[in-house]
Amino acid sequence: MFTYANNGITVASILDQRKELKGEIFPVKIRVTFKRVRKYYATGKKMSIDDWDNLPETRSRNKISIRDDIQYSFEKVKDAVIKLEREGGFSLAALNSYLGKNASDTLNQAFQLKIENLRGNEQINSHEYYSYTLKSIEKFAGKNIGFDSVTPDWLRKFEKHLLQEGKSYTTVGMRCRAIRAVMNIAKEAHIVKESQYPFGRGKYEIPTGQGRKLALTLQQIKQLVNYSDGSEAIEHARDMWFFSYLCNGINFADMLTLKRSNIKNGEISFMRAKTRTTAKVKKGISAIVTTEMEAIMTRWGNKDKSPDSYIFNFLKGDESPARIKARTRDVISNCNRRLRKIGKAIGIEGLSTYSARHSFATVLKRSGSNIAYISESLGHNDLKTTENYLASFEKEERVKNASFLTNFGD
């Protein structure tokens, strides 16, 4: 229907009948041919043979809109070809790179491509995050989900499906943000048109979970750091929690990879692994090394004090990213098991490694610290993220404040 040819390069919109979809429907693609080799780029459209044959002369509004979308995809590929021709560097590999390597027929394939890229970049956490999301959407809708199927209504049904499985709104938000990220890539590659994009005001808005309030009060922290049953394993878990709390709520994944070189002029400076490869602004975090932290490093730290040695000897230094991830999981799992035992003994529910981070932020909030300072200390890029970490004030505080409302001074 739409064609372009120059210097041995042909670009054409075609109905790809090599693979039939459900109901005698085929995907519409943009085919580029060069030196007898063909490359196909998805348009996100699919139709029957009859509809395709009638598309050039159609008067149907809906079909005209589809034809315009196909032409839009065609023009984008054609423009890329012309640009590379003019620069004297055309090849199918160069074209694929220029278009962002994001040509996919389905949402599933786009996820697979994203997952493969993350694996290649050794972004283990993000790789797992997208892998879990793909499993969720395939359980919900199968393994051949067209981009045009992902509508606001589809997303609302997916949300309902996850809630019925017992997932929290926090999990729903995480899954939908991964879908949005993949849809954004498809939109940038002109596979998904703006009018098809399902996210945003008036369309589907991703829910925000309130999050669990896991912060401890200062009195509870005092109980925790003073607790001992005589077991070295219990004391080790207790001290690792306390170190995390004192070190700006550092998560255990970052704490395990701290090195002596991170300590300078009485401060530990580091960058969160979680945002190192994703954040546009790379924020370093600095925490004062307190006497309590010094004592923990002396008791449990690595005896090797050279700059490249880890502060704590959970890792040897020759592990792959996947092995570091596995080791971190083991350490957190063991520590959480012992923290639950401590919590049961002193009456603190939900005690875990993660509660150290919440406690750091909330104790500062209760002491009157500026939220902007807390946000910077946590390494967040916006205040909203920080606010989600801040737990509610104790019930006693609310009761005290409520009494002020009727303190008429009689």
Domains in the chain, please, with CATH?
3-98 (no CATH), 107-196 (1.10.150), 218-397 (1.10.443.10)
Judged against a pLDDT cut of 70, whether residue 74 lies above it is answered with yes
Residues in contact with 31: Cβ distance below 8 Å, sequence separation at least 6, in sequence order = 10, 11, 12, 13, 14, 16, 38, 39, 40, 41
pLDDT per residue as tens digits for the range 319-361: 888 888 889 999 999 999 999 999 999 999 889 998 999 899 8
Of 202, 192, 157, which Cα lies nearest the Cα of 176?
A: 157
pLDDT per residue as tens digits for the range 3-29: 999 999 999 999 999 877 777 899 999
Residues in contact with 290: Cβ distance below 8 Å, sequence separation at least 6, in sequence order = 246
pLDDT per residue as tens digits for the range 115-129: 877 776 677 778 889
Judged against a pLDDT cut of 70, whether residue 398 lies above it is answered with no
Q: Report how far Cα 70 is from the mean position of its chain's Cα atoms.
A: 32
Looking up tokens 């369309």, which residue turns up?
203
Which residues on neighbouring strands pair with residue 45, listed in sequence order? 28
Q: Say which amino acid occupies 347.
A: G
CA distances from 24 to 20, 44, 104, 395 (A): 6, 16, 20, 63
What is the pLDDT, as a whole number, of residue 124?
A: 79
Inter-residue contact 102 to 185 (CB < 8 Å): yes
Distance, CA of 66 to CA of 86 (rounded, Å):
30
What is the pLDDT, as a whole number, of residue 58?
A: 92
Inter-residue contact 262 to 311 (CB < 8 Å): yes
Judged against a pLDDT cut of 60, whether residue 212 lies above it is answered with no
Nearest 5 degrees, angle CA 242-CA 323-CA 274? Answer: 55
Residues in contact with 52: Cβ distance below 8 Å, sequence separation at least 6, in sequence order = 15, 26, 28
Judged against a pLDDT cut of 90, whether residue 229 lies above it is answered with yes
Of 40, 35, 51, 44, which Cα lies nearest the Cα of 14?
A: 40
Judged against a pLDDT cut of 50, whether residue 102 lies above it is answered with no
Interaxial angle between packed helices 152-164 and 169-188, expressed in degrees from 0 to 180 and rounded to the nearest 10: 150
What is the pLDDT, as a whole number, of residue 91?
A: 86
Distance, CA of 196 to CA of 185 (rounded, Å):
13
pLDDT per residue as tens digits for the range 238-293: 999 999 999 999 999 999 999 999 999 999 999 888 766 555 556 789 999 999 99
As a whole number, mean pLDDT of residues 295-301 equals: 96
Inter-residue contact 310 to 259 (CB < 8 Å): yes
